[in-house]
Chains A and B, each alone.
Chain A
Amino acid sequence: MKPRVATAWLGGCSGCHMSFLDLDERLIELADKIDLVYSPIADVKEFPENVDVTLVEGAVTNSENEELAHIIRKNSRLVVAFGDCATTGNVTAMRNPFKLEDVEKRAYIELADKNPRIPDEYVTIAQLLNIAHPLHEIIKVDVWLHGCPPTADQIWFTVNELLQGKIPVLPPVYLRYG
Chain B
Amino acid sequence: MAVITFIIDDEQYSAQEGVTILQVARDNKIHIPTLCYLDGLSTLGACRLCVVEIEGSPKLFPACTTKPTENMVVRTNTEKLKKYRRIIVELLASEGNHQCAVCVVNGHCQLQDLAYEVGLDHVRFPYLFPKKSLDATHKDFVMDRNRCVLCTRCVRVCHEVEGAHVWDISGRGIHCEIIADLNQPWGTSANCTSCGKCVSVCPTGALFEKGASVGEMQKEHDFIKFIVTARNKHEWVHIAPEDE
Residues on A facing B (Cβ under 8 Å):
81, 84, 87-91, 93-94, 96-98, 131, 134, 136-137, 141, 144, 146, 148, 170, 172, 175-178
Contacts of B112 in A (CB 8 A): 177-178
B13 CB–A CB distance under 8 Å: no
Docked complex Cα distance between A98 and B98 (Å): 16
What 1/0 flags go to B90-117 for Cβ under 8 Å of A? Answer: 0001000111111100110000100110
Indicate whether B173 reaches chain A with its CB closer than 8 angstroms. no
Q: In whole angstroms, how far apart are the Cα atoms of A97 and B97 in the complex?
A: 9
17 contacts between A and B (CB under 8 A): A84-B101, A88-B98, A88-B99, A88-B123, A89-B129, A90-B99, A90-B100, A93-B129, A94-B97, A97-B132, A98-B131, A134-B127, A141-B122, A146-B121, A148-B101, A175-B115, A178-B107
Partner of B93, one of A88, A96, A148: A88
Which of A90, A93, A136 is in CB contact (< 8 Å) with B122? A136
Given known A-B contacts A84-B101, A178-B106, A131 and B116 have beta carbons under 8 A apart: no
Determine whether the beta carbon of B130 is less than 8 Å from that of A97.
Answer: yes
Q: How far is the CA of A92 from the CA of B44 in the complex (A)?
A: 36
**Contact flag A90-B101 (CB < 8 Å), given A81-B122, A178-B112, A178-B215:** yes
Residue of chain A at shortest CB distance from B214: A178
Cross-chain contact of A91 among B99, B106, B129, B215 (Cβ < 8 A): B99
CB-based nearest A residue for B105 = A178
Interface mask (B123-167 → A, CB under 8 Å = 1, otherwise 0): 100110111100000000000000000000000000000000000
A176 to B93, CA, bound (A): 14
- Measured between beta carbons, the chain A residues less than 8 angstroms from B101 are 84, 90-91, 148, 177-178
Bound-complex Cα distance A175 to B89 (A):
15
In the complex, which residues of chain A have a beta carbon less than 8 angstroms from the beta carbon of B18?
none
Cα distance A90–B100 in the bound complex, in angstroms = 8
Q: A136, A137, A141, A177 — which one has the most chain B CB atoms within 10 A of its CB?
A: A177
